[in-house]
Amino acid sequence: MPITEILEKNAKLYGNDVALVEINPKELEKRNITWKEYSLIEPGRNDSFRSEMTWSEFDEKANRIANLLLTRNIGKGNKVAILLMNCIDWLPIYFGILKCGAMAVPLNFRYTSEEIKYCLELADVDVLLFGPTFVGRVELICDQIPRVKTLLYVGEDCPTFAEPYYRLTSYCSNQSPNISLTSDDEAAIYFSSGTTGFPKAIVHTHRSLEHACLVEQKHHHQTREDTFLCIPPLYHTGAKMHWFGSFLVGGKAVLLRGVTPEWILRTVSEEHCTIVWLLVPWAQDILDAIERREIKTEDYKLDQWRLMHIGAQPVPPSLIKRWKEVFPKHDYDTNYGLSESIGPGAVHLGIENIDHVGAIGIPGYGWQTKIVDEKHQPVERGCVGELALKGNGVMKCYYKDEKATRDVLEDGWLFTGDMAKETEDGFIYLVDRKKDVIISGGENLYPVQIEDFIRKNNAVKDVAVIGLPDNRLGEIAAAIVEVKPGFYLTEQELNQFCMALPRYQRPRKIIFAEVPRNPTGKIEKPKLRKIYGAEQLVAMQNEIKD
């Protein structure tokens, strides 16, 4: 069924119950107020630090944006992009786009102006909704995106080149537009990318989104009494699809705009959160803060917290061992998936299989898996091959890219590009990535983009960017740089040069060395990973001992 029907069902059955809460601790810092002081003020239901929305309000706001878009002749076949930081308006906007029959196109909030322009053009976007953080970036390209007929500004003090979202939607009906939708209708475009760094536009149907709801709820048994703490960005399939399990049953979600250990534990405590999805660095930061006694668990109400799960990157077994020592009553799960498979859950460990930490797990609810050779024939158990997935959550296609679609889809199977092996007891372990994408702190880094930038330095002869293991982030980007003869370049100079890159793309390690290439001219990255990965592992082990 169309996923919008779930929202309408929740509004009908649980209309006065809280659906969404937004917590913005930075607002307290601006006002120089502590969490404890804030709790004594007994503020109204909505202010700059904490705001909430009932299921009825959620549905009505979605209806208003749907009706606004319909007045602009936006409906089936159109695409509407969302460029917002996590906020309480994000999800109503997303569902409003779906309600008018259009496709939602979430954009990474780290995109530069050029990347925003590229994605808008790639997906044939007709309308862009954007927030205060992005005014400068959008202004730079607003005259270069003629297809985007409408720019809607979600905030106060609307810039002159856009229209005010809040004022316009206030004039629109809060009743459902009653657009006929089916499970086969296209619902959303998410962006992925290969090693070239050029995004592909992934098309998902309402059936895919519904499948994500069912998978998550089956895996983690959410009920209406559960409260899901959402920290990762909503533009990504991960956070939103994990919340979908709670959404299916009318459970509350709390959107936390911040990742410090205190903010996370305080929010769990004050909002009575029962389910928290973390990235490896955040879990490590919480444990480190507790071990240093910067945070005392006894200062928080944490007994109701029942599940901590992690996704988006490999999880060190040692981390989970430490976590269970501090939180012995927590269930734990890890999830594997791709944006092409509607995010997490295609493979999951399972809360009953904590003794297999290190594996990505077993096929998720409604999913099939197989591990194949280069001819797409199954390999024997214990042998390494490419992991393939099949289920209702597999994407429909890459938008307007038939070749790329044929490369990864065959008879309903999605070939992931990830190398894995399955043990005799049926658990799947990732061995290596067929692609060179680096996953650092849950974010994809694309080596070619970083390499192309570094090559602009006049002293650089050649460069290769690889991922190296890291205790906290899972992987870090390391640049192996070969300097031109007769030139001099220091690590400090190169780091300063890379300041022009977005922060998350800057290499965290610089290595000056020869860059090896094979006879066809390709960089021999496996050789580099073997050399420097081994050195990094030794350094990590020494760090742990210290």
pLDDT in tens, 420-453: 899 999 999 887 666 677 888 877 787 877 888 9
pLDDT in tens, 317-330: 878 998 999 999 99
Task: Work out the pLDDT band at 520, boundaries 50, 70, 90.
Answer: very low
Indicate the pTM of the whole model: 0.84
348: three-class secondary structure by DSSP = strand
CA distance 306 to 17: 22
Q: Is the pLDDT of residue 545 over 90?
A: no
**Mean pLDDT, range 190-194, rounded to an integer:** 74
Residue 130 corresponds to which amino acid?
F
**Mean pLDDT, range 210-238, rounded to an integer:** 93
Q: Which residue has the higher pLDDT, 301 or 521?
A: 301
Q: How far is Cα of residue 136 from the mean position of the Cα atoms in its chain?
A: 24
Give the chain's domains with CATH numbers. Answer: 4-258 (3.40.50.12780), 317-433 (2.30.38.10), 438-545 (3.30.300.30)
Determine the pLDDT at residue 33.
Answer: 78
**Mean pLDDT, range 511-521, rounded to an integer:** 75
Q: Quickly tell me which residue has 């976007």 as its tokens.
A: 125
CA distance 223 to 81: 31
Beta bridge partners of 311: 335
Residue 52 corresponds to which amino acid?
E
Determine the pLDDT at residue 471.
Answer: 82
**Mean pLDDT, range 260-285, rounded to an integer:** 92
**Mean pLDDT, range 480-491, rounded to an integer:** 92
Per-residue HEC secondary structure of 54-83 comes to: EHHHHHHHHHHHHHHHHHCCCCCCCEEEEE
Q: Which of 475, 410, 416 is nearest to 441 (CA)?
A: 475
Determine the pLDDT at residue 69.
Answer: 98
Residue 55: both structure tokens together: 């299921």
Q: Is the pLDDT of residue 177 over 80?
A: yes
CA distance 163 to 217: 39
Backbone φ, ψ for residue 426 (5° rounding): 90, 10
**Mean pLDDT, range 477-482, rounded to an integer:** 94
**Mean pLDDT, range 405-417, rounded to an integer:** 95
Q: Which residue has the higher pLDDT, 332 or 534?
A: 332
CB-based contact 84:93 (threshold 8 Å): yes
Determine the pLDDT at residue 20.
Answer: 97
Q: Is the pLDDT of residue 244 over 50?
A: yes
Residue 406 corresponds to which amino acid?
R
**Mean pLDDT, range 107-118, rounded to an integer:** 92
Mean pLDDT, the chain, rounded, equals: 90
Determine the pLDDT at residue 432.
Answer: 63
CA distances from 65 to 14, 59, 473 (A): 21, 10, 38
**Mean pLDDT, range 73-77, rounded to an integer:** 96
CA distance 166 to 164: 6
Q: In 413-433, which positions are buried (b, 16+ CB within 10 angstroms) versus exposed (e)?
A: bbbbbbbbbbeeeebbebeeb
pLDDT in tens, 346-378: 999 999 999 998 899 999 999 999 999 989 999
Determine the pLDDT at residue 193.
Answer: 57
CA distance 380 to 395: 27
**Mean pLDDT, range 79-94, rounded to an integer:** 97
CA distance 130 to 287: 36
CA distance 316 to 323: 11
CA distances from 408 to 346, 379, 396, 420 (A): 16, 18, 11, 16
Q: Is the pLDDT of residue 519 over 80?
A: no
Task: Work out the pLDDT band at 45, boundaries 50, 70, 90.
Answer: low
Share of the chain above pLDDT 70, in %: 93
